[in-house]
Amino acid sequence: MPPPARYPLTQPATLQAASRMPPESSARQEVMVQGIPASQGIAYGQVFVYIQSDVEVPSYVVDPGKRSDEIARFEQALLLTRQQITKIKHEVERNIGPEEALIFDAHLMVLEDQALIGETLREFEDTGRNLETCFNKISLRYIQAFSEIDDEYLRERAGDIRDVAQRVLQNLLGQTERSFNRLADQRVVVANDFSPSDFAGLDRSAALAIVTDRGSKTSHAVIVARSMKVPAVVGLRDFTRRAQPGDWVLVDGYEGLVILHPSENTLFRYGKIREQREGIEARLLAANRLPAVTLDGAAITLMANIEKVDEVQLVKHYNAEGVGLFRTEYLYLNSARIPSEAEQVEAYRTVAAGLAPHPVIIRTLDLGGDKPMPGNPGLFPKESNPFMGFRAIRFCLEHTDIFKDQLRAILRASAHGKVRLMYPMISGAEELARANAVLEECRTELRAQGVAFDEALEVGTMIEIPSAAATADLLAQQCDFFSIGTNDLIQYLLAIDRVNDRIAHLYEPTHPAVLRTLKSVVDEAHRHDISVSVCGEMAGDPVLVPLLLGLGVDALSMTPPLIPAVRYLVRAMKLADAKKLAETALGLAAPKEIHALCLAFHNERVKLE
């Protein structure tokens, strides 16, 4: 048999080796399965199925006289789990890198979550059942809460809690840790899902690629795989049932394809693709060191969307001109308690100072709806339609104590860099005026205390509700900039739940209603002499970027790794041509026709292959 290779090559020797595969393997029908591309690269090798199963939790009543011993046993399991995770963090830091090791800080914080631990102990006091049962019940409640969050990145925290919970339960039951010890040779690892700790101690040369039934491109496990330069495809649903140990498989981490029993023609074709992809990546990275200036001299601002403080280095690595969207929910969702003003100041200051003189746009709290705080269920009553319910600025204006803590923290951080403040989910001018009034109270309080802050701090609003878009002229009179959240704006405009599989195909960024709304918002912003950026998924799509720029958008903010492809496109086009594209698109009626027009525009200018 041929030795597994990370990339299929086109040299004759490799093709000859592939042809020596056993007749029963080469005769099997090729099966192509579409998943979600998570980590770039192409790999070819044999399957190793990583079998995982949840810990079986026994349930029994603890003798009243032994309850103190039971609590001591739980505390010992928490201590052991903390030691194990700390060891894993150090191994990842040594073998992969310090930034990747920070992932395990989230795991350690789960163990320090006083609400999770406190609720477990209260459950034990109320029921008298063994702590495995109590801890499992409470942790599952937290996992469920985070699993229902619409934000993909924050939803992945459910995986962190699940990973830690399984480890605690294993320690309570005296079970050994799961590991890749059986992976003795290079293999394509196939599993239902992975946790970051599954990778601890793994020789990066042992796993040719990662393939999972579940997961997303923002999961912590995928982030580790990406850092290890291991190709990964996730979301294949039932691939663990299709693939058998020893099967030959080809993994395309660029397109999210997994090919079981690939033919010789497929292997040869992917050898060519691999060469093309390597060339494309080299050219994108080279262009990313250059200014984002169009062929006719228009400078385009490319910024980054971030979730956490430790992403500052990622922003710098991809040469972003600051942060166009700092989602602050992570500070709240990463703990069962509300962070103090001082803790928030430290987080915001670190980002602002780390990226100065570039701007950092901090969005105020967007909790509620699909992002409740598991440790504070009383703050968010059960709602039948939480996406349009008590969330974001609506929550903040009712809980002004929480809101003012954050506003003061942002103001104080503005003394250490170029900070801008932005409100989410604004529906109209009256709501914006109320938010600005609370901000002015915070300014007055800080002045009275002699606390330094930027008196010229710019304040903006998200345009993500149709009513805000329709009254952009009124909003523009009360703020310094707009940032269009296209994800929600499109969802609300078209009445499409984009995470509903049955209707997700109707979520169309090139719908004429979307284009006309974007054009109207941009025109009103410029008429009132304020800037407008886009921070939704459209901003990171090179095919749609010329359309946005043609409509008059001033800046684009996106996930950092998307910046090189967008920068390359910007440098390959003229702004004048983009304006003509937008003018033509505004006259069309069919979303698919508009998308085809944008695709043709992109392909005529970007010829990387």
Task: Classify residue 470 by burial, with Cβ atoms within 10 Å: 0-12, 13-18, 19+.
Answer: middle
- Is 589 a domain residue? yes
- Catalytic entry in 107, 220, 358, 595: 220
Q: What was the pLDDT predicted at 18?
A: 39
DSSP 518-535: HHHHHHHHHHTT-EEEE-
Into how many domains does the chain fold?
A: 3
CA distance 260 to 44: 10
Q: What was the pLDDT predicted at 415?
A: 97
**In the sheet that 36-39 helps form, which strands lie side by side, from edge to edge?**
31-34, 257-260, 248-252, 42-50, 187-191, 207-212, 232-234, 36-39
Query: Of residues 282 and 179, which shows the higher confidence score?
Result: 282
Residue 327 has pLDDT above 80, yes or no: yes
SS3 content of the chain, % helix, strand, coil (to 5): 50, 15, 35
Q: What was the pLDDT predicted at 151?
A: 66
- Asked if 218 and 268 touch (Cβ cutoff 8 Å), the reply is no
pLDDT digits (tens, 9 = 90+) for 270-299: 988 888 887 888 888 888 999 999 999 999
CA distance 160 to 107: 6
My answer on whether 340 and 428 are in the same domain is: yes
My answer on whether 498 and 533 are in the same domain is: yes
Residue among 588, 570, 580 nearest 510 (CA): 588
Q: Which two tokens stand for residue 238?
A: 């039932």
CA distance 217 to 233: 8
CA distance 554 to 540: 14
Measure the CA dihedral 570/575/577/579, to 10°: 120
Q: Mean pLDDT over residues 569-594, rounded?
A: 97
- Is 511 a domain residue? yes
Residue 474 has pLDDT above 70, yes or no: yes
CATH number at residue 262: 3.50.30.10
CA distance 581 to 519: 13
Residue 319 has pLDDT above 80, yes or no: yes
- Is 123 a domain residue? yes
My answer on whether 230 and 207 are in the same domain is: yes
CA distance 354 to 350: 6
CATH number at residue 108: 1.10.274.10
CA distance 258 to 267: 12
What is the DSSP secondary structure assignment for residue 206, as one 8-state letter? T
Q: What was the pLDDT predicted at 542?
A: 92
CA distance 21 to 35: 26
- Is 338 a domain residue? yes
Of 173, 189, 215, the position where a domain reaches its end is 173
My answer on whether 168 and 238 are in the same domain is: no
CA distance 199 to 182: 13
- Catalytic entry in 396, 442, 479, 535: 535
Q: What was the pLDDT predicted at 55?
A: 76
Q: What was the pLDDT predicted at 106?
A: 76
Of 120, 146, 173, the position where a domain reaches its end is 173
Q: What was the pLDDT predicted at 17?
A: 36
CATH number at residue 570: 3.20.20.60
Bridge partners, residue 304, by sequence: 323, 558
Q: What was the pLDDT predicted at 258?
A: 95
Give percent of the chain above pLDDT 70. 81
Residue among 583, 581, 552, 548 nearest 566 (CA): 548
- Asked if 411 and 446 touch (Cβ cutoff 8 Å), the reply is yes
Q: What are phi and psi of 42, to 5 degrees?
A: -125, 130
Q: Which residues of 107-119 are buried (b: 16+ CB within 10 A; e: fewer)?
A: beebbebebbbeb
Bridge partners, residue 255, by sequence: none
My answer on whether 433 and 394 are in the same domain is: yes
- Is 287 a domain residue? no
Q: Is 595 a catalytic residue?
A: no
Of 144, 173, 202, the position where a domain reaches its end is 173
Cis-peptide into 58, omega within 30 deg:
no
My answer on whether 407 and 319 are in the same domain is: yes
Q: Which two tokens stand for residue 395?
A: 């929550």
- Is 498 a domain residue? yes
- Is 59 a domain residue? no
Q: Mean pLDDT over residues 513-533, rounded?
A: 98
Task: Classify residue 406 by burial, with Cβ atoms within 10 Å: 0-12, 13-18, 19+.
Answer: buried
Residue 381 has pLDDT above 70, yes or no: no
CA distance 300 to 563: 12
Measure the CA dihedral 164/167/172/174, to 10°: -170
- Is 60 a domain residue? no
My answer on whether 94 and 220 are in the same domain is: no
Lowest mean pLDDT among 8-12, 165-169, 399-403: 8-12
My answer on whether 183 and 167 are in the same domain is: no
Give percent of the chain above pLDDT 90. 53
Three-state secondary structure call for residue 3: coil
pLDDT digits (tens, 9 = 90+) for 540-561: 999 999 999 999 999 999 988 8
Q: Is 442 a catalytic residue?
A: no
Helices (H), 453-562: 466-470, 472-475, 486-494, 512-527, 545-550
Q: Which two tokens stand for residue 444?
A: 């007055």
Query: For helices 114-127 and 131-147, what crossing angle results, to 10°?
Result: 130
Pairing of strands 207-212, 31-34: unpaired
My answer on whether 42 and 74 are in the same domain is: no
Query: Of residues 469 and 2, which shows the higher confidence score?
Result: 469
Residue 185 has pLDDT above 70, yes or no: yes
Q: Which two tokens stand for residue 83?
A: 């030691």
Q: What are phi and psi of 273, to 5 degrees?
A: -60, -40
Q: First CA to last CA across the chain, in angstroms?
A: 32
My answer on whether 117 and 240 are in the same domain is: no
Residue that has been written with the tokens 């406190």 in this structure: 118
Residue 348 has pLDDT above 50, yes or no: yes
My answer on whether 364 and 317 are in the same domain is: yes
Domain with 101, as residue range(s), is 66-173
Q: Which two tokens stand for residue 150?
A: 């619409």
My answer on whether 164 and 189 are in the same domain is: no
Q: Which two tokens stand for residue 57?
A: 């939790």
pLDDT digits (tens, 9 = 90+) for 7-45: 333 332 232 333 334 444 445 789 999 988 888 889 999
